[in-house]
């Protein structure tokens, strides 16, 4: 069973992730992990923290000479800014530094200090920070390498920022991956990207922030990942939960998503055809690659809506938790817009969800057994008419 956990604070010594359930014999490409970490730090509208950090992963367990051993894999990402926060974030000694008492609307601050009985908001905001997603991206990069062994590929792109929408309806997976890599916003519509940048620039001038929507796609997914028989094994439910776990994500849709609610069934459901050469196929993909809680062989398509970042340079009104006086919300070093980065995190979460379902279906202690199971399954469903 593929699963992971992360640990670490935004200004602590490091972020750590432990992955369990990887079969032995999976070749791990550290540079591919670091490339995804770099991509997470990019994007027009990112803040000052990205000028300090240059994330790289260290593997401290579970891998020897480039191959997994079947034991838990531990990934570590050092926080370079720790050098400036050692006293204020020390795990020992007495409290140092200024106490944060002005809660931020839209953040975990107020509810967190109430729930955990803390008097300094930093005790909450350090872990609630989206800095934690660097560890998830590293995990997702490993999951991608497992999925790649069966031909599954994952990419993403920005669909909208600040109300500016990109045009992309006729673009296929390969074109999206290629164009996305050439854009510093991760947007495949150049004209829309320029408008998005203008909107981000204006928001920065106004001391404001912007959100948006990104889309993640997985191609070459075999049919049958997930299951219809239990609620918690439905693939769409898992992927939606993983996407919603990304900080600032407030909405998720798969395939036609919310638009399906406004259309008649004749325009929503993907008709099924059969050809002697192609086997079973669909000419549309309104389902987003998932039907009945299971992958159906089409490209998996998921979109997520990200709200604007709650740390504003012109802060909103709030309350001081010590005096209960009306104050301006506290400010942390932050981004104006991080939708591009969130899309990379979205890729990671999609990879994790697919890796979980993949590992359930093709379980094995080593890659030879896993790939043998995949090959046997491909042969069986090909004999039944699935030939893609």
**What is the set of domains in the chain, with CATH numbers?**
3-383 (3.60.150.10)
d(CA 335, CA 204): 9
The per-residue pLDDT for range 214-232, each reduced to its tens digit, is 999 999 999 999 999 999 9
**pLDDT for position 52:** 60
Report residue 328's pLDDT band, with 50, 70 and 90 as the boundaries. very high
The per-residue pLDDT for range 46-56, each reduced to its tens digit, is 665 555 668 99
**pLDDT for position 294:** 98
d(CA 210, CA 310): 10
Report residue 169's pLDDT band, with 50, 70 and 90 as the boundaries. low
d(CA 5, CA 329): 31
Structure tokens at 89: 């974030």
Buried b (16+ CB within 10 A) or exposed e, 29-61: ebeebbebbebbbebbbbbebbeebebbbebee
Q: Note the pTM of the prediction, 2 decimals.
A: 0.95
The per-residue pLDDT for range 359-371, each reduced to its tens digit, is 999 999 999 999 9
Q: How far is CA 195 from the centre of its chain?
A: 25
d(CA 361, CA 58): 30
d(CA 14, CA 53): 11
The per-residue pLDDT for range 55-73, each reduced to its tens digit, is 999 999 999 999 999 999 9
**Mean pLDDT, to the nearest integer, of 109-134?**
96
**pLDDT for position 54:** 84
The per-residue pLDDT for range 29-51, each reduced to its tens digit, is 999 999 999 999 988 876 655 55
**Mean pLDDT, to the nearest integer, of 166-189?**
87
């Amino acid at each position: 069973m593929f699963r992971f956990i992360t640990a670490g604070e935004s200004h602590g010594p490091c972020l750590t992730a432990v992955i369990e359930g990887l079969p032995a014999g999976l070749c791990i490409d550290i540079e591919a992990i670091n490339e995804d970490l770099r991509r997470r730090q990019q994007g027009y509208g990112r803040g000052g923290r990205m000028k300090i950090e240059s994330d790289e992963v260290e593997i401290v367990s579970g891998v020897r000479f480039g191959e997994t051993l079947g034991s838990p894999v531990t990934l570590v990402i050092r926080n370079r800014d720790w050098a400036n926060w050692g006293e204020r974030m020390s795990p020992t000694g007495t409290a140092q530094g200024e106490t944060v008492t002005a809660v931020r609307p839209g953040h975990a601050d107020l509810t967190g200090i109430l729930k955990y009985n803390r008097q300094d908001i930093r005790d909450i905001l350090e872990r609630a920070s989206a800095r934690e997603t660097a560890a998830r991206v590293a995990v997702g990069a490993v999951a991608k390498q497992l999925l790649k062994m069966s031909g599954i590929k994952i990419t993403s792109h920005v669909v909208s920022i600040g109300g500016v929408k990109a045009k992309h309806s006729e673009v296929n997976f390969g074109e999206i991956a290629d164009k996305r890599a050439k854009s510093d916003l991760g947007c495949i519509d150049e004209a829309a990207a320029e408008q998005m940048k203008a909107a981000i620039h204006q928001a920065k001038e106004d001391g404001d922030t912007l959100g948006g929507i990104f889309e993640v796609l997985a191609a070459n997914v075999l049919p049958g990942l997930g299951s219809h028989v239990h609620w918690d094994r439905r693939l769409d439910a898992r992927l939606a939960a993983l996407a919603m776990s990304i900080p600032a994500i407030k909405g998720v849709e798969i395939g036609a998503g919310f638009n399906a609610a406004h259309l008649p069934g004749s325009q929503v459901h993907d008709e099924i055809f059969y050809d002697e050469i192609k086997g079973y196929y669909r000419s549309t993909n309104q389902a987003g690659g998932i039907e009945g809680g299971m992958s159906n062989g089409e490209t998996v398509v998921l979109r997520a809506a990200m709200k604007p970042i709650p740390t504003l340079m012109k802060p909103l009104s709030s309350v001081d938790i010590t005096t209960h006086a009306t104050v301006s919300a506290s400010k942390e070093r932050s981004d104006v817009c991080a939708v591009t980065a969130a899309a990379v995190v979205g890729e990671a979460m999609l990879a994790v969800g697919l890796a979980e379902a993949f590992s359930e279906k093709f379980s094995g202690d080593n890659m030879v057994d896993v790939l043998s199971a995949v090959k046997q399954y491909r042969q069986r469903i090909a004999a039944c008419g699935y030939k893609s």
